[in-house]
């Protein structure tokens, strides 16, 4: 059972976290439901929007939208204040979690220069980002448990994503933007023989990731570095993956990351990122567009607009496509996004493969659940 | 430790008409959080289960949300009137 900092909190701090989680749940169900009703009423009266821009204009006219936006942003800001305070007050105990690992490896690069696009805004509204002070990784770890409501305790969501991978064995797996290792550990759990490597800009996250992997008895290498320049040899990786990392990147970095993935992949190797994509439901997509700004995710709309099929083809990867993913069950849904009443992120898997032979575009075995 | 005041640049966006209203609403929600902690302590002292107590975080938030919602201070729900929304129970 993976341990997280949340498990070590006292009763009062746990209740504060519970309150924030309850707030987010109410926002995502009752407030979002009311907003949807208002949108549908306006659309029925004035005509349904046909473009994302029209949908955005209609959403902004819904009376509950200001309230919805305030609660999303306000809950996020309050969350970080609370979690930052919790970590500060419990640092003596929680800081022990950053002890040097024995089994896993934390390869830090003190000379690494973080790029401006990564450093110059507080992603997810977390003050100071995840890369500054030593406690920032612990703050991030606790914060993610509040951010994602639903069945996402510990590694649950990431294990469900890992379970969709088609291979029985892999030799080397690279997790780009591995954070504190939440997305990386399930790969080592499922593919125990594989050489699993996490690449991450944030030094504090690399240290915490290695410690958490150690806690679970997982021999994983976490390397502080740039996903777009991993330093790994050509053609030596079977799987390039990443979870919620592409939407943090501006377009030129996305292109460089795709090129790096193509370079390090072995022929027949696969790329599979768990991300977010447009759903085709203009209401949801319009709300998601603004969600990016409310959450300090400046590059998220860019990913939504990015022609990933063309860009992945341009670097020599084939079969690129988005496949909707049900984060509650782990099902891939190639037929499309299901209708759901509550606010939730539009999870989708971006997949592609490196052709086994230069002249072949034969794809590897289809992913479980894929058409 | 992170000093939030050192990293904040610019002001928070305003959603509810003005930054002041947003700040007041945020203070109410923060107060609600501390009240939920206090209520849980009291429930424990009185031998009740805080998780199922009527003062739990969810029920407290239900009341806060109902009272903070922009339309809730009006005698007639202007939002519903304008949009022909069905009245919610």
- Give residue-wise pLDDT tens across range A113-127: 999 999 888 888 888
The nearest CA of chain B is from the CA of A357 a distance in Å of 51
- Selected for mutation to probe chain B from A15, A24, A71, A89 (highest B CB count within 10 Å) is A15
Q: What percent of chain A has pLDDT over 70?
A: 91
Token pair in block for residue B47:
């031998």
Q: Which residues of A touch B16 (CB under 8 A)?
A: 66-67, 70
pLDDT at B84 over 70: no
Superfamily for the A1-371 domain: Vaccinia Virus protein VP39 (3.40.50.150)
A152 confidence band (pLDDT: 50, 70, 90) = low
Mean pLDDT of A321-343: 94
Tell me, yes or no, whether B52 lies in a domain. yes
Q: Which residues of B touch A87 (CB under 8 A)?
A: 1
Q: What is the pLDDT of residues A60-72, one digit of tens each?
A: 999 899 989 999 9
Q: How far is C-alpha A1 from the chain's CA centre? A: 21
User: For residue A197, with 0-12 CB atoms within 10 Å meaning exposed, 13-18 middle and 19 or more buried, which class applies?
Assistant: buried
Instruction: Give me the residue from A18, A23, A127 closest to B7, CB to CB.
Output: A127
Mean pLDDT of A246-261: 97
B15/A19 touch (CB, cutoff 8 Å), yes or no: no
Instruction: Give me the residue from B7, B32, B71 closest to A63, CB to CB.
Output: B71
Q: What is the ipTM of this complex?
A: 0.76
- State residue B78's pLDDT score: 43
Average pLDDT, chain B: 70
A23: nearest CA partner in chain B: B61
Question: A74 CB near a chain B CB, below 8 Å?
Answer: yes
Q: Which residues of B touch A133 (CB under 8 A)?
A: 1-2
pLDDT at A218 over 90: yes
- Pairwise pLDDT comparison (B17 vs A293), residue with the higher score: A293
Question: B17 CB near a chain A CB, below 8 Å?
Answer: yes
Token pair in block for residue B65:
């949300």
B83/A69 touch (CB, cutoff 8 Å), yes or no: no
pLDDT at A265 over 90: yes
- The mean-pLDDT minimum among A35-44, A47-56, A155-164, B34-43 falls in B34-43
Instruction: Print the domain residue range for B74.
Output: 15-83
Mean pLDDT of A266-282: 97
Tell me, yes or no, whether B3 lies in a domain. no
- Domains of chain A: which residue ranges? 1-371
Question: B65 CB near a chain A CB, below 8 Å?
Answer: yes
A274 in Cβ contact with A247 (< 8 Å): no
- State residue A208's pLDDT score: 93
Q: Domain total for chain B? A: 1
Mean pLDDT of B7-35: 81
Question: A121 CB near a chain B CB, below 8 Å?
Answer: no
Instruction: Give me the residue from B1, B37, B62 closest to A16, CB to CB.
Output: B37
Tell me, yes or no, whether B73 lies in a domain. yes
Question: A298 CB near a chain B CB, below 8 Å?
Answer: no
B17 confidence band (pLDDT: 50, 70, 90) = confident
Residue A152 contacts by C-beta under 8 Å, 6 or more apart in sequence? Answer: A145, A327
Q: What's B54's DSSP letter?
A: T
Average pLDDT, chain A: 90
A134 confidence band (pLDDT: 50, 70, 90) = confident
- Pairwise pLDDT comparison (B82 vs A51), residue with the higher score: A51
Tell me, yes or no, whether B6 lies in a domain. no
pLDDT at B9 over 70: no
Tell me, yes or no, whether B10 lies in a domain. no
Sheet hosting strand A221-224, strand order edge to edge: A105-107, A221-224, A195-200, A172-176, A237-243, A265-276, A347-353, A318-326, A331-332
């Amino acid at each position: 059972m993976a341990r997280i900092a949340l498990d070590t909190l006292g009763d009062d701090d746990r209740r504060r976290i519970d309150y924030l989680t309850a707030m987010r749940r109410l926002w995502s169900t009752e407030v979002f439901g009311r907003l949807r009703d208002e949108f549908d009423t306006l659309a029925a009266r004035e005509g349904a929007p046909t473009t994302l821009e029209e949908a955005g204009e209609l959403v902004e006219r819904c009376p509950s939208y200001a309230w919805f936006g305030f609660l999303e942003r306000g809950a996020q800001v309050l969350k970080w204040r609370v979690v930052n305070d919790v970590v500060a007050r419990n640092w003596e105990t929680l800081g022990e979690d950053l002890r040097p690992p024995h089994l896993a490896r934390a390869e830090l690069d003190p000379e690494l220069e973080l790029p401006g696009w990564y450093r110059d805004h507080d992603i997810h509204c977390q003050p100071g980002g995840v890369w500054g002070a030593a406690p920032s990784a612990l703050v991030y770890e606790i914060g993610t448990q509040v951010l994602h409501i639903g069945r996402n305790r510990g590694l649950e969501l990431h294990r469900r994503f890992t379970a969709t991978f088609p291979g029985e064995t892999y030799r080397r797996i690279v997790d780009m933007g591995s954070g504190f290792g939440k997305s990386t550990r399930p790969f080592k759990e499922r593919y125990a023989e594989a050489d699993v490597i996490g690449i991450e800009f944030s030094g504090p996250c690399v240290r915490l990731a290695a410690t958490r992997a150690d806690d679970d008895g997982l021999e994983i290498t976490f390397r502080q570095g740039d996903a777009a320049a991993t330093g790994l040899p050509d053609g030596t990786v079977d799987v390039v993956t990443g979870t919620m990392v592409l939407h943090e990147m501006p377009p030129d970095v996305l292109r460089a990351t795709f090129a790096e993935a193509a370079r390090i992949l072995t022929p027949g190797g696969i790329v599979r990122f768990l991300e977010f994509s447009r759903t085709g439901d203009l209401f949801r997509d319009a709300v998601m567009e603004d969600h990016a700004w409310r959450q300090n995710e400046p590059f998220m709309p860019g990913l939504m607009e990015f022609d990933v099929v063309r860009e992945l083809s341009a670097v020599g990867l084939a079969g690129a496509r988005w496949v909707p993913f049900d984060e509650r069950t782990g099902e891939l849904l190639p037929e499309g996004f299901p209708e759901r009443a509550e606010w939730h992120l539009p999870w989708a898997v971006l997949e592609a493969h490196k052709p086994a032979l230069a002249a072949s575009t034969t794809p590897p075995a289809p992913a479980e659940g894929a058409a | 430790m992170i000093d939030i005041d050192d990293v904040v640049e610019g002001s928070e966006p305003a959603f509810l008409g003005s930054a002041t209203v947003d700040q007041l609403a945020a203070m109410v929600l923060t107060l609600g959080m501390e009240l939920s902690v206090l209520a849980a302590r009291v429930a424990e002292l009185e031998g009740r289960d805080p998780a199922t107590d009527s003062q739990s975080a969810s029920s407290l938030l239900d009341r806060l949300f109902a009272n903070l919602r922009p339309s809730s201070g009006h005698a007639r729900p202007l939002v519903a009137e304008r949009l022909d929304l069905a009245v919610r129970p």
